[in-house]
Amino acid sequence: MNTSASERGTDLVKRGLAEMLKGGVIMDVVNVEQARIAEEAGAVAVMALERVPADIRAHGGVARMADPSIVEEIVGSVSIPVMAKSRIGHFVEAQVLESLGVDYIDESEVLTPVDENHIDKWNFTVPFVCGAKDLGEALRRIGEGAAMIRTKGEPGTGNVIEAVRHMRMMNRQIRQLTVLDENELMAAAKELRAPYLLVKEVASTGKLPVVNFAAGGIATPADAALMMQLGCDGVFVGSGIFKSGDPSVRARAIVEATTFYQDAGKIAKVSRNLGEAMVGINIDTLAPEDRMQDRGL
Amino acid sequence: MRIGALALQGDFREHLHVVRALGADGVEVRTADELETVDALIIPGGESTAIGRLATIYGLIEPLRDRIEAGMPVLGTCAGMIFLASGTLRYEQPQLGVLDVVVERNAFGRQVDSFEADLDVTGFADPVHAVFIRAPWIHKVGGDVDVLAAVEDPETGESRPVFVRQGRILATSFHPELTNDTRIHELLMEVD
């Protein structure tokens, strides 16, 4: 076979990598040492950052793409895929990350958006993951070329309530579509503010056309298993691991709870003696301007 | 026929979807007890380090090795191929060592180098449309291993196996579970 005659960056290849990450945990890391701890603990990928979301929240100001040297060092230090975040709409940050050999770009509300428009993700060979609180948001992002979706639980809070809300909303809206008459789908697309052809596809298959992970506020093995039982395909853990008392032990426990998410006995076993969980924030105490999930709808 | 898919991590549901469509009883396998109940096993695509680590801590390495060495048919795709192999270039990770090959992980490069292409396979009338995702290839094959498909190393021009068979063990670098072509799963079900 002549591999130069082959096609790169196709839908199948982009969405396919997300398929391979299913049932796994993607961990936020800020340096090579953390990346190695994550890989050793059984992470399926790492998210290379300059600061974890809890620190972005504490630091304030404009949050941007990480320093390329941090991303590059992490890319060179592990054998698992490396993801990195660009600001919403910042296609040049995305171009830079692609040039660094990043395997997936998270166009993320954790960073400060630069545009009302999201990145035109069809223009890239590297795949993108985007956050979504509901089905309309998910289908708009897929319409722009996202190859993977995640919930938009409030990052850096250690509080999983918003991720749960988003997943329940997504499931409910998908179920509702599947019982509609075909001639009701255009009105449904209008209401969801989503591309009609994608609405039609979801109505007939009963699922999103791409993988959907949980993200935002996951801090314990039980949180991860909760999101899996709600129907997520896998889990992102941001601040929850490296802001906890014993990151390595907690990382392993969350990986095991994600695999054995239906086995309460195993979840109980891995939840013992994990040390301090990250300190949480109640969502009700967040000022509206501090709610990251309302960015980039 | 009862076919298990190792369900520690990865795209095991896609494999089960294919074998169920072919009329088999497809089940998820996470424990040694569940492994005992199946006639054949699929080790899916995923991250080989994560699958290897979970298989180690949950005591699956020996039971898997015993069943495969006793002749249970098995198909490993991508991470599954790596997990079946006897060695990996550059990396140390848990492997079953039942397939006499040394694999090179991420052999084609990073995700931007992932691709799909038509691939000629020995014994198949038409090519397979193969999807390679951060895929491995085989660096070195042992004596009892038949190479069913190979690609050319773009740097050295050497032939690199991407689909091999050793007795009842089948392994691919690519992902037949992501396309509608069921011939490789059929091969697993007919293997003798």
User: Measured between alpha carbons, how far is residue A278 from residues A244, B72, B73, B112 in Å?
Assistant: 5, 46, 46, 35
Any bridge partners for residue B163, and if so which? B149, B172
Asked if A255 is an interface residue toward chain B (Cβ–Cβ < 8 A), one would say yes
Mean of the pLDDT values across residues A256-267?
98
Q: CB-based contacts of A77: which residues, under 8 Å, 6+ apart?
A: A32, A35, A36
The whole-number pLDDT of residue B4 equals 98
CB contacts of B55 in chain A (<8 Å) are none
Amino acid at A67: D
- B78 annotated active-site: yes
**Secondary structure of residue B120 in the 3-state scheme:** coil
* Chain B nearest CA to A26, separation (Å): 11
**In the A/B pair of chains, how many CB contacts fall below 8 A?**
129
Q: What is the mean pLDDT of chain B?
A: 97
- Token couple for B114: 């992932």
The edge-to-edge listing of strands for the beta sheet with B128-132 is A7-8, B115-119, B128-132
- Token couple for B160: 């690199």
Q: How confident is the model at residue B27 (pLDDT cuts 50, 70, 90)?
A: very high
Q: How confident is the model at residue A5 (pLDDT cuts 50, 70, 90)?
A: low
**Secondary structure of residue A73 in the 3-state scheme:** helix
Q: Where are the domains of chain B?
A: 2-190
pTM: 0.96
- A85 annotated active-site: yes
For B63, counting Cβ atoms within 10 Å of its Cβ (0-12 exposed, 13-18 middle, 19+ buried), the class is middle
**Secondary structure of residue B55 in the 3-state scheme:** helix
The ipTM estimated for the assembled molecules is 0.96
Top-tier CATH class for B2-190 = alpha beta
CB contacts of A39 in chain B (<8 Å) are 49
Residue A2 pLDDT exceeds 80:
no
CB contacts of A81 in chain B (<8 Å) are 47, 111, 134
Among A207, A86, A6, which Cα is nearest to B162's? A6
